[in-house]
Amino acid sequence: MTSVFKRPALILALLMPVPVLVTGCATAAYNIQEKFGIEKRDILVDRVTGVAKAQAEAKDEFQDALEAFRSVVAVDGGALEDTYDDLSKAYKRADGQASDVRARVASVKRVARDLFKEWEGELSSYSDAGLRRVSEQQLRETQRQYEALTAKMDAATASMDPVLSVFSDRVLYLKHNLNARAIAALDTETSSLEGDVARLIAEMERSISAADAFIKDMRVT
């Protein structure tokens, strides 16, 4: 199958479709890209790469939000407003990055669904039974690897929500209680939140590693 990796990155960027809900539009977009030698396989690899990058960025944003949270428990009353602003901004960045991860995972699933559907449908086009059997084996193995990848992606995505919920509650609490007493109350939450973020980061790293392995395998197949 034709590979896009030696082609200019600009072509892929210009032709990369935004998420579409209408199947006909998606098919037309694929047809245009295939005229330039860009197959669904290439699009899938590119989008898996995008998920790995987004997850790495989300991991950093959550770590930054945790640092902002830690700074809250040591601040004096006079700096409380600035501290609230910093924590609120850190939360918004983490929430935005989490949304980007979810969107990218969804786009991977759309392309993978279309790729596997096309591959399955084209098996009947073989006249050589041996080649058809080998291709079907490759399809099943790729599907198995993809399912393992998406399981890790979904686990990493799901791990973001509880942490975001904790951050959201504390930002709102600070907004309503900008005083030293509110800060003292937050101190007891730090160790629990640190554990939640550590688990989230571990999930992200597992998902990123799985994406790297999937991309490597797709490139050599």
**pLDDT of res. 191:** 66
- The number of folded domains in the chain is 1
One-letter amino acid at 2 equals: T
Asked if residue 159 belongs to a domain, the reply is: yes
**pLDDT of res. 164:** 87
> Measuring CA to CA, which residue among 114, 138, 103, 104 is closest to residue 40?
114
- Domain holding 160, by residue range, is 9-220
Measure the N-to-C terminal CA separation of the chain; round to a whole number of Å: 9
Asked if residue 212 belongs to a domain, the reply is: yes
Asked if residue 4 belongs to a domain, the reply is: no
Please tell me the pTM assigned to this model. 0.61
Asked if residue 128 belongs to a domain, the reply is: yes
Written as tens digits, the pLDDT of the chain (221 aa) is 333 333 333 223 323 343 433 344 555 555 555 544 557 777 888 888 888 888 888 888 887 877 777 666 555 555 666 777 788 888 888 889 899 999 999 999 999 999 999 999 999 999 999 999 999 999 999 999 999 999 999 998 888 888 888 888 878 877 776 655 555 556 666 667 777 788 888 888 888 888 888 778 777 66
Asked if residue 2 belongs to a domain, the reply is: no
Asked if residue 1 belongs to a domain, the reply is: no
Radius of gyration of the chain (CA): 22
